[in-house]
Structure 1
Amino acid sequence: RADLHEAQANDAYWHGLFGGIYLPHLRRAVFNAILRLEAQLDRITARPVLETSDLDMDGIGELLYHNHTLQLIIRPAPSAAVVEWDCYALRHNLGDTLARRDEAYYDRIRHGAAAHEAPSEGIASAHDRISFKTDISAEDLTPDATPCHSFQEWIDESAVTYSESSLPDAPHFSGGVADEWAVSKRYTLVENHLTVDYRIESARKRVEAQRFRSRLFLAMPSCDGPAGQFFANGQSQGGFGSPIRGEATWEIVLEDAVMGGKIVLHFNPPVRWQSAPHLTVSQSEAGFEKIMQALRLDLDWSVQTGKAHTILIQAEVVAHG
């Protein structure tokens, strides 16, 4: 009951001047309680390993796929992407992030104080003051064109869409890009490992190299602080708060002392990649500021028409101690 009440703490469910849903640590505390509660309920009454439920009540069912260690919530169409990625040992949702939306207070940032002068009498409230805790550009206010879900794919600039799914024992999706490319994607959970395997092929006879890309959004609790460390092929790349680019990488490790664990990503074949902090603009009593919501990780492989390609991503979620 205590976990249920903590999961209902209202601070993370609203948005306004003093924080709310834009503050990752508030959302994280709620998810922490939800996952503690869910793990206890699963010990009382076991759920099916794979089931469909309309969790967000939009009329379209999501897939819930879980074992005793990890849980994926997948939105089948059009991207077959992971909306929620829970680790029960860490009591953490790796998919806990926000897309950038066009907020009403963005107009005050764009037009400045002159367009929103405080009343001539009295002291301006925190709602009327125009101040900045961090530099904010027009690009920072641009809404995201796609949801911030993990394992979304593109071939060159065209999004891969999935229209068919089969669920014998694990989620398996089929789709592609127009009539040019066929793509299948399968998720598999074994203990604390998630495996995502792709098969990509094109029937076009003319040989041409294109790029197959997959994007992940990973909610790392240390954000851009010193407790987060990024490693590629065993070499330190620094923290999560700066853009990084790498090539021919077979292993990426994301260590997070605040989370109390790490994510170990293996790739076959090796991957070209780039990462960057995913930032949103929030309003606080101290002014407008950018807040890191997640680490965005873009993965890139070369694929060639006229032949089939198999790509494998394996993610191990490790809890320290």
Structure 2
Amino acid sequence: MDFVLCIHLHQPVGNMEHILERAYEASYLPFLDTFEEFEGIKLNLHISGYLLEWLSREKASYVERLKNNVRLGRLEILTGAMYEPVLSMIPREDAIGQIRMHKKFVKELFGTDSRGMWVAERVYEPHLPEIFREAGIEYIVLDDHHFKAVGLKEEDLYGYYLTEFENHKVAVFAGLEFLRYALPFKNLSEIDSYFRRVESTGGKVAVFADDGEKFGLWPGTYGHVYKSGWLRQFFSYLNENKEWLNTATFGEYLEKSKPLGLIYLSCNSYREMGEWCLPSKRIVDYNGLLNRANPNDRDFIEGGYFRYFLVKYEESNDMHKKMLYVSKLASKKKEAKKALYRAQCNDAYWHGVFGGLYLPHLRSEVYKNLIEAENLAEKKKGIPHAILYDINLDGFDEAILNTKNMRAYFLLREGGVLYELDYKPQAVNLVATLMRRYEAYHEKIRSAIPRERVNGTKTIHDLVLAKEEGLENILHYDWYRRACLVDHVLGQDVSFQSFFRSQYYEPGDFVKEPYVGYVDKSKGEAKLLLRRDGNFWKGGSGEPLSITKVVTMKSSEDKILVEYTLHGEVKEAFLFGVEFNFSFLGSGGERFMEVGKERFGLTKKGTIPPSSSVRFFDPYQRIEILMSIEDPLEIWTHPVEVVSLSEEGFEKNYESTMFMPLWFVDLKDGKKSFQIEIHINGLRNNNHIQ
């Protein structure tokens, strides 16, 4: 019987240098050190493109050691899509291009033509075999869950199958869930019993295919895997039992074995993904169903569908649809295409047990690469321009204003808000934030244990950890998306605290309702007129209220001028607030907010005395935002902080700073008008204005 050991190493595009260093020291290097001690063992390895670029640049000796093991026949290198996109989420030509790019890079580094491929997050759809074959792929490895979902049992999976799409054929191996949970957590006697059971049923091969980071980087695993010697003991066990349990590469097994048959698989991923991509409030129901089900029936309980993340998280859909839009622009420009490929890295588009979408630096990196690709690909002729275009494919037009140094995207169907503001020279989206939303795992926060008490014998899926205490105190949920130019019509009795907690009544119907938009482009400027004829609701009846905001962007200036006019038949006075959410990757260091002559940190929470002059300063993104606000009554501000789940447990993430000037409005005298000006400066060398 053969045992195919396949390790997948991955770091998302834009992950921080110190994280890559820690992963290398805690996992990648000691795993290779231990592996090389045992000459009889063979390994299959996939390294995603961003990490492989870093290793080839920073750890050349490590790459050379891998190359030597390839020459010795001990190591088979799998290819993948270069920057680890979920293939079903990107255009066909991009998918083929990414695979070919990674194959070429592997050939340059290791001198080998990869026959097999790692499928990111094992997200499979039935049309993918055509893409695989077009890119020169002969085999892939998925999870046993894919096969069980169409009716197979585990004993049917000790080999490989063939599948096809429109006559494009590929071999498919099944990574076994027992092994995925057993390595490196169970003791060797349990693992030995499993292998012997497989062998006794006539099984020809058992496949382990999972993340290499679980061998040292996951919480508590370094001590367990290396200091306590689990990996060395496991490799010793394999060597001692090699007469009946032979380690093999995928390629070797393919050469000597025939397929078990033909298979057609549905849209699927590994089992846990089916939970994570469900609507948050249905996850509890799903887990309840799983717990009640007979073990033999659980394979048929599918859960959700990966693409639903684009519905579950609007912010993910924003990035995804911008990516599709930019893909069309970048198709014929090499440098633009590489930036596009980097932006297609999957991690920031979804969220499960890892931080993913909730990590600001990953979302920022997606936008950085998309903006760079768009900068390289767009035609300068015709700028400035203003268009209405359904970029997010929801059936409603968005408004896009584009000038020499800025792009602004407005959501007409929901509040006429500014949901993306790109500053081209720095390739940064200043509104790359998230709303505070309920996640099913929030129910577990009070039972979470401190991270330092973990011993490394539980998998990451079983751990309930907290990186700090008191996280339950910041669980507040928004009822609208975080953006800029969010128009709040508030009663005079609304307090800052109730607004911060999102526990208040809003009599105006403007925040989530549609605005009518008209665009105009004249010489040197792009303009957008937004208007909603809504109501001020009181006691079940509405009093007419209209809000008009005119947005002007001149190509000669990095400024946005917003002119507001409110008029209607509202009998009582009210508060009107214009909410801004600026994202800065972090809240500490030298970042600050300056209101008048008073300086605050970005996590300032409360009411600030009014001032017409506001400044945000972020030397890390090399951005300064200057605001001129006409006669506000007062200013409210608070950090937008969320509790998310990562491999290290529950953690607090700063997403943006909410900043809202307010005005006292009494329409008995007719109308209320004022204006706000936003000026973006790029900084040079972290502190000098360009």
Q: Distance in 1 between matches of 2:658 and 2:608?
A: 14
The Cα of 1:148 is off from its aligned counterpart by 0.9
Matched with 1:103 is 439
Cα pair 1:135 1:289 within 8 Å, conserved = no
Q: For 2:680, which of 311, 317, 320 is the aligned residue?
A: 317
Matched with 1:117 is none
The residue type equivalent to 1:154 in the other structure is H
How many percent of aligned residue pairs carry the same amino acid?
23
Q: Distance in 2 between matches of 1:6 and 1:232?
A: 37
TM-score (norm 2): 0.43
SS in 2 for 1:38: helix
Question: How do 1:7-156 residues align onto structure 2 when only pairs under 5 Å count?
Answer: 7-43=343-379, 46=382, 49-109=385-445, 112=447, 123-138=457-472, 140-156=474-490
Structure 2: gaps spanning 5 or more residues? 1-336, 450-455, 491-505, 522-526, 536-542, 685-690
Cα pair 2:403 2:553 within 8 Å, conserved = yes
Residues 267-319 of structure 1 deviation map (CA, whole Å, 9 limit, x = unaligned): 11235111111011111222101100111112201111222111111000100
Q: Distance in 1 between matches of 2:414 and 2:349?
A: 27
Q: Distance in 2 between matches of 1:92 and 1:102?
A: 27
Aligned residues: 309
Larger Rg: 2
Matched with 2:593 is 230
Q: Distance in 1 between matches of 2:592 and 2:448?
A: 39
Moved over 4 A (4+): 44-48, 136-139
The Cα of 1:253 is off from its aligned counterpart by 0.2
Query: Are 2:596 and 1:262 equivalent residues in the alignment?
Result: no
Moved more, 126-135 or 45-54: 45-54
The Cα of 1:2 is off from its aligned counterpart by 2.3
Matched with 2:99 is none
Cα pair 2:388 2:519 within 8 Å, conserved = no
Matched with 2:232 is none
SS in 2 for 1:105: helix
Moved more, 13-22 or 286-295: 13-22
Q: For 1:175, which of 521, 525, 532 is the aligned residue?
A: 532
SS in 2 for 1:89: helix
SS in 2 for 1:124: coil
Cα pair 2:632 2:662 within 8 Å, conserved = no
Larger RCO (CA under 8 A, 6+ residues apart)? 1
Structure 1: gaps spanning 5 or more residues? 115-121
Matched with 2:634 is 272
The residue type equivalent to 1:231 in the other structure is E
Residues 24-45 of structure 1 deviation map (CA, whole Å, 9 limit, x = unaligned): 0011111111111111112466
Residues 178-216 of structure 1 deviation map (CA, whole Å, 9 limit, x = unaligned): 133221111111220011110112335x5x431111111
Q: Distance in 2 between matches of 1:276 and 1:48?
A: 34
* Root mean square deviation, CA, Å: 2.2
Residues 80-110 of structure 1 deviation map (CA, whole Å, 9 limit, x = unaligned): 1111111101211011011123223223225
Structure with higher strand content: 1
Change (3 A) 1:69 1:304: same
Query: Are 2:550 and 1:186 equivalent residues in the alignment?
Result: yes
Change (3 A) 1:17 1:41: same
Q: Distance in 2 between matches of 1:269 and 1:162?
A: 27
The residue type equivalent to 2:363 in the other structure is R
The Cα of 1:3 is off from its aligned counterpart by 1.2
Change (3 A) 1:268 1:138: same
The residue type equivalent to 2:581 in the other structure is F
Question: How do 1:294-305 residues align onto structure 2 when only pairs under 5 Å count?
Answer: 294-305=656-667
Q: Distance in 2 between matches of 1:265 and 1:91?
A: 20
The Cα of 1:47 is off from its aligned counterpart by 6.6
Residues 236-276 of structure 1 deviation map (CA, whole Å, 9 limit, x = unaligned): 12x10231421221011000111102100101123511111
The residue type equivalent to 2:483 in the other structure is H
Q: Distance in 2 between matches of 1:126 and 1:106?
A: 17
Structure with higher helix content: 2
Residues 150-180 of structure 1 deviation map (CA, whole Å, 9 limit, x = unaligned): 1111221223245433223321122244133
The residue type equivalent to 1:172 in the other structure is L
Cα pair 2:643 2:651 within 8 Å, conserved = yes
Cα pair 2:471 2:651 within 8 Å, conserved = no
